[in-house]
Structure 1
Amino acid sequence: MTDEQTIPAAGAGGRAAANAGLQASLRVLAVSVGPLVAALVLGGLLLLAMGFNPFSYYGYVIQRALFSPSGFEATLTRMGPLLLIAASLIVAFRAGLWNLGGDGQYLLAAVFVAATVPLTLGVLPVWANLLLGLLIGAAVGALWSLLPALLKAWQGINEIITTLMMSFLGVSLANVLVKLAFLDPGTTTPQTRTLPVEARLPRLFDSSVSSGLLIGLAAVIVVHLVMTRTAFGMRLRLVGANPRAAVHAGLSVPALTIAVFAISAALAGLSGAVDILGTHGNVRADWNPAYSLTVVPLVFLARLNGFGSIAYVFLFSALTIGGESAARRIGVPSFFSLVIVAILLIMLGLAEYLDKRHQERARR
């Protein structure tokens, strides 16, 4: 083949590769953004069927969450614990494991932090007290995942079942502790002792935004880099993707399985600690924000990418903060934002199914 023939052939190959890359990027974008757009449209149609103006609802959401100073600060503050939950899920899902017990790990950690940190307030400096609270939250979350981790590592028992069961037990135990062992005797409302505002996590830039936001951002970025750029992250991914190959490579699958659960649950527990130390200051009986299962579709929409998860967590935080304002103004039920999340989960599953069918047809 002459040089004149080789150059056009190389150019054609380059264009084909570029087109293939563009198509792959568009496919990922459609699977990631498409379900979100479809959920917002279907949510608007549902509002219309209920007799509400969807443009008014979404307008109030945007105005409150993004253009109101107090609302925007509330949106950023709520992102802190949600980002830690996202980091927790990314660790587990990238390792091929399902830690669906985040709600129990989060709430138990929040209760123990709320009960213990006020007791050591006069003994330790504020910074040491806050650090202790963060460590307690991470430790409680990790310990609560120990049983599902051991059952998965040594008996091969499905972790979806065990983590969900432990989550139910954790939420119930947390409520019992608030009403009995950790009850604040100085209040009539069943709750733990309240951490004073001045003893909580510092605010950012003279605003009401908790520095828990920085902890959440740092956790997601570190988790993303560790899972995608380090040898340890590669070992964790190999354990979930192909345990037999991991054994042949000389890796201890049980030890790495326990490590995945411990790291994931510790981040979920740290989320509970950040929420208490940064925002709430105490835990009331029967309180459960149920963040973990809500963040699952957001992480999958981001394709388990840490930076994409930050964007989706921001959108969800804006939706929930703005949705509370819209509920008060136009009478929409306050839980309607969760309805949109449920629709989003259905759309995500449908998008994954259609994408898989498309790839199967492309291979034929």
Structure 2
Amino acid sequence: MTESTEFLSGARPAAPRFGFLGPLVLALLPVLAALVAAGLVLAVLGSDPIEYYGYVVERGLLRWRGLQATVVNMVPLLILGGALIVSFRSGLWNLGIDGQYLLGTLTAGATAPLLAGAFSSIVALPLAMLAGAAAGALWALPPALLRARAGINEVISGLMMSLIAASLTAAAIKLWLKDPASLEPQTLTLPVEDRLPLLAGTDINIGIFIALGLVIAAHVLMMRSATGLRFRILGLNPLAATHAGLGVPKLTLSVLCLSGALGGLAGAVELTGVLGKMQASWHPGYGFAVVPLVFLARMNGWAVIVFVFAFSVLQIGSASAATRLGVPQDFTLVLVGFLLLFLALSEYAGERLRARKV
């Protein structure tokens, strides 16, 4: 950030940093603390934390099938990470990301099988993804308008839109989009041969390249483009953006709708690559899991890739560990909760240290 940008933002001068060690320590300390705290919970539950974490690493990283599952699991998380990089760096909290993801998944689930029956996969899949992205952007529009026009906090409206989305997707599948050939309420199934192609000899589809490209593109957009600079000025100081003639309402709409489009696209890529159909009861809650990862990465796209990979190893490995060691299936959420707690404490401690050095 240049001196002129610091002046416009009204931000305090940053405390001296110790090269890359400062951000690295701030990122790793909450992770280590969360692992220790979760390990204590495991010990209370009667499980050996060392055995549990060792089993997680073995099944999620060291075994070839587990590693493939880890990479596949990364795809929606990476795209959602890109969506949150755009909004968080712009000073806007798109916590309605889960709703946008669900609507994108539903839209792709409703359109992809029909498009695949009329066009080749090369045409059908991109169209289904665009439809999912459009659904995510439209679902982000109400909170964006409320924030841009009325100054209403996007956190509350975004969370409410996510709650509505969960009920709306379930109702839509049960009432209008249900596959008549299925006993379970779900959309039509996209045939396996019409889904995103797999890499030769693996279970990994090309969605991983789409996801990596999108999260890197989000990083480059925010850090290396004129549009990203406008978004970041909005996040640093909306009053400065107004005085600079940037048009805060228009920027707010652009940021939240772009973030929503990426959220919807994450669901569409997941459906066209792995799921093939959407069930009425399906609600993975990926947005809640990605938020702490983006903050641990300091909203850096390259670091997001690293943290998402580590988290995916944990998710895949813990699923096996839960069965083998008798640990609850939702124990990963306990670890995410500890991550949020220690991340907040780390940020508080960092702010106190910076305040003393100013």
Q: TM-score range by the shorter chain?
A: over 0.9
Q: 1:1-364 alignment to 2 at 5 Å?
A: 20-22=16-18, 25-363=20-358
TM-score by length of 2: 0.94
Deviation string 1:201-228 (CA, Å, 9 cap, x unpaired) is 1112331012111111001111101100
Q: CA deviation at 1:21?
A: 4.3
2-side partners of 1:282 and 1:204: how far apart? 21
Deviation string 1:292-342 (CA, Å, 9 cap, x unpaired) is 111000000000111011000001111000000001111101111111111
Residue of structure 1 equivalent to 2:3:
none
Q: Is the 8 A contact 2:116 2:125 kept in 1?
A: no
Q: CA deviation at 1:92?
A: 0.2
State the AA in 2 paired with 1:135: L
SS at match of 2:316: helix
**Structure 1 spans left out of the alignment, 5+ residues:** 1-18
SS at match of 1:307: helix
Aligned length: 344
Q: CA deviation at 1:85?
A: 0.4
Residue of structure 1 equivalent to 2:7:
none
State the AA in 1 paired with 2:209: L
Residue of structure 1 equivalent to 2:5:
none
Deviation string 1:249-301 (CA, Å, 9 cap, x unpaired) is 22111111110011100000000001111111111121100101110000000
1-side partners of 2:252 and 2:216: how far apart? 22
1-side partners of 2:223 and 2:36: how far apart? 34
1-side partners of 2:115 and 2:305: how far apart? 34
Deviation string 1:172-219 (CA, Å, 9 cap, x unpaired) is 101111111111100111111111111101112331012111111001
SS at match of 1:192: coil
State the AA in 2 paired with 1:52: S
* Root-mean-square deviation over aligned CA pairs: 1.2
TM-score by length of 1: 0.92
SS at match of 2:118: coil
2-side partners of 1:350 and 1:36: how far apart? 12
**Structure 2 spans left out of the alignment, 5+ residues:** 1-14
State the AA in 2 paired with 1:351: S
State the AA in 2 paired with 1:112: T
SS at match of 1:62: helix
State the AA in 1 paired with 2:309: F
2-side partners of 1:191 and 1:352: how far apart? 43
1-side partners of 2:225 and 2:103: how far apart? 31
Residue of structure 2 equivalent to 1:8:
none
* Structure exhibiting the larger radius of gyration computed from Cα positions: 1
Residue of structure 2 equivalent to 1:11:
none
Moved over 4 A (4+): none
Deviation string 1:102-152 (CA, Å, 9 cap, x unpaired) is 111101111111111111222111111111111011000000011111111
